[in-house]
Chains A and B, each alone.
Chain A
């Protein structure tokens, strides 16, 4: 009985806490939106701008969700960009060297080829995530160091496979994943929404999700409570690796190329968005909704500054400053309680 009422209490507290966070995020997003609209009304408020954002932000959003999954158990995944690039590059190798397009192949054969490529890329992500998970859960290497090392290996493999230059020559259907539209909505955005709903349901409605939160809140207690911590942590990194690979597919589809050093700035941004979205890097706290709002807020910020002809470097500065600022606000707000 007591345990149940306790549970309810913490549930309620968590809910209030989360809503506060989301409220704060929504306010930040609204302020950014109004500010940019006021500063650059002619360029910022055009349909084209929002459309192009809807193509660009999903890959970053998916990586940020992958990062959040690792952070839920108090870990971090510094290899996400390595995995994303490796997935894109392996798919590129598959399309150009192993299984090039047959000249007289029909549309069905082409579609099969792309599906095989997608399966291959996601499989690589799953495998890479499994390696991370095994190193972290079984060998017990600290997540920072384990993923630092594997990230180096994955990026290194990208270098070995490509020798440096980008791989080009993806099939048209592959480009559709990054550039196409379904019912007037960008395909990357559709994929992002699918990921958001799937992960949100998984985290809030399944035992696996609950386990992750419990492990992140108190790993020792989780072990004593009989949770299969090792297995759950392994699964979370497998999932994070697969999501990273999905981001790699979208990225290579959108740019129609894959390279070993694509998206290196995404790593910092993924950590930033994840933390900004209310994820606690020490574990136990984080929502998909928060991360999604955070990625949109930052994309609006970046696109607005780009229109004002800020250099990309100054945008880096703003991202970093924003990260520190939001962390400070969070700390000050929690202190007030």
Chain B
């Protein structure tokens, strides 16, 4: 009995309930929504945003906020593809390791500023995003690498699918779910993961009970950068081109998805499952406007309203918790 009421009070349950209602409503408006092709496409749209959301989730649990991950993702993607073309390298594993390392290094730079100078994460990541994007576009290049110059190995990897009932499901879904599983294990089953929660709940207490806060900050932002770098290259291999101006405005969407999933911007609170649901909710709404016969220009308004309503509900929940 108690476990049922506990389950009902979890924010994931609320998100899941809303999600089901929204899906039923969309399905009623246009039954084409339930076709396997549409659902598989929807899942595919979750992959890149989802991995980025896991990156932001980690930062948010630690009580910070990260708006630099789109810049890191684009830098990792573009630099890796350029390097592959320059060397004529055809492979998959090494490039993804390279992109992840580029993201990792950028993330560690964030951690350096945040920890050494005790600077506010929002300001640091605003600055580092501007620095990385400026350097990439100013020094490396502004031209899009189109499909004809994209490494075929990446394209082949990004377009690998399995067939289920005549419809093709992108295999990238399983990469996303695999990363999500690892992140869940890391955050809930390891001491380093619990340290992030403790740090986000109250940095000073975490320090006093003996957590190494320096290591936690570096771990959080390094991991966030690494995930962003990986997601960046994955994105390029899924859309078959590398655009150095890509991911503009992603920070808003991804932060919105993480908040939708029940994470608290004050830290110490958030879950991988909630984030997956939040990402699904956001992509569902964004991708279903057309299917609901609503003009696509309304997308920004709808997403904005969803953010405001979701954060208002969270604020209401947290206020009740205070009493």
State in angstroms the CA–CA spacing of A239 and B122 once bound together: 23
Q: Which residue of A lies closest to B310 (CB)?
A: A149
Q: Which residues of B contact A318 (CB under 8 A)?
A: 134
Q: Which residues of B contact A141 (CB under 8 A)?
A: 308, 311-312, 314-315
**Within the complex, what minimum Cβ distance (angstroms) separates B18 from chain A?**
17
Q: Which residues of A contact B127 (CB under 8 A)?
A: 272, 320-321, 323-324, 327
Interface contacts beyond A76-B122, A156-B300, A316-B138: sample of 15 additional A-B pairs, CB < 8 Å, sorted by A: A139-B315, A140-B315, A145-B311, A149-B256, A157-B300, A271-B126, A281-B120, A281-B122, A281-B123, A310-B138, A313-B138, A314-B138, A316-B133, A317-B138, A323-B127
Is B131 in the interface zone, CB < 8 Å from A? yes
Q: Which residues of B contact A76 (CB under 8 A)?
A: 122
Is A142 in the interface zone, CB < 8 Å from B? yes
Q: Which residues of B contact A240 (CB under 8 A)?
A: none
Total chain A interface residues with beta-carbon distance under 8 A: 46
State in angstroms the CA–CA spacing of A155 and B299 once bound together: 10
Q: Can you pick out 8 interface pairs between chain A and chain B where the beta carbons lie within 8 Å of each other?
A: A139-B312, A141-B308, A142-B311, A160-B301, A271-B126, A316-B130, A319-B134, A324-B127
* Shortest Cβ-Cβ A-B pairs, 4 listed: A156-B300, A317-B134, A320-B130, A152-B304
Asked if B297 and A328 make an inter-chain contact with CB atoms under 8 angstroms apart, the answer reads no
Q: Which of B144-190 contact A (CB under 8 A)?
A: none
Q: Of B252, B259, B265, which contacts A152 at CB under 8 A?
A: B252
Asked if B131 and A324 make an inter-chain contact with CB atoms under 8 angstroms apart, the answer reads yes
State in angstroms the CA–CA spacing of A156 and B289 once bound together: 14
Is A42 in the interface zone, CB < 8 Å from B? no
Q: Which residues of A contact B272 (CB under 8 A)?
A: none
Is B255 in the interface zone, CB < 8 Å from A? yes
Total CB contacts across the A-B interface at under 8 A: 149
Is A252 in the interface zone, CB < 8 Å from B? no
Q: Which residue of B lies closest to A142 (CB)?
A: B265
Contact surface of B with A, Cβ cutoff 8 Å? 65, 113, 117-120, 122-124, 126-131, 133-139, 142, 252, 255-256, 259, 265-266, 295, 297-305, 307-308, 311-312, 314-316, 319
Q: Which residues of A contact B302 (CB under 8 A)?
A: 156
State in angstroms the CA–CA spacing of A164 and B135 once bound together: 29
Is A146 in the interface zone, CB < 8 Å from B? yes
Q: Which residues of A contact B305 (CB under 8 A)?
A: 149, 153
Asked if A150 and B134 make an inter-chain contact with CB atoms under 8 angstroms apart, the answer reads no
Which of A157, A316, A321, A331 is the most central at the interface, judged by chain B CB atoms within 10 Å of its CB?
A316
State in angstroms the CA–CA spacing of A318 and B259 once bound together: 32
State in angstroms the CA–CA spacing of A150 and B300 once bound together: 10
Is A135 in the interface zone, CB < 8 Å from B? yes
Asked if B307 and A320 make an inter-chain contact with CB atoms under 8 angstroms apart, the answer reads no
Q: Of B123, B138, B298, B311, which contacts A149 at CB under 8 A?
A: B311
Q: Which residues of A contact B256 (CB under 8 A)?
A: 148-149, 152
Is A248 in the interface zone, CB < 8 Å from B? no
Asked if A313 and B126 make an inter-chain contact with CB atoms under 8 angstroms apart, the answer reads no
Q: Which residues of A contact B113 (CB under 8 A)?
A: 324, 327-328
Q: Which residue of A lies closest to B136 (CB)?
A: A313
Q: Which residues of A contact B65 (CB under 8 A)?
A: 144
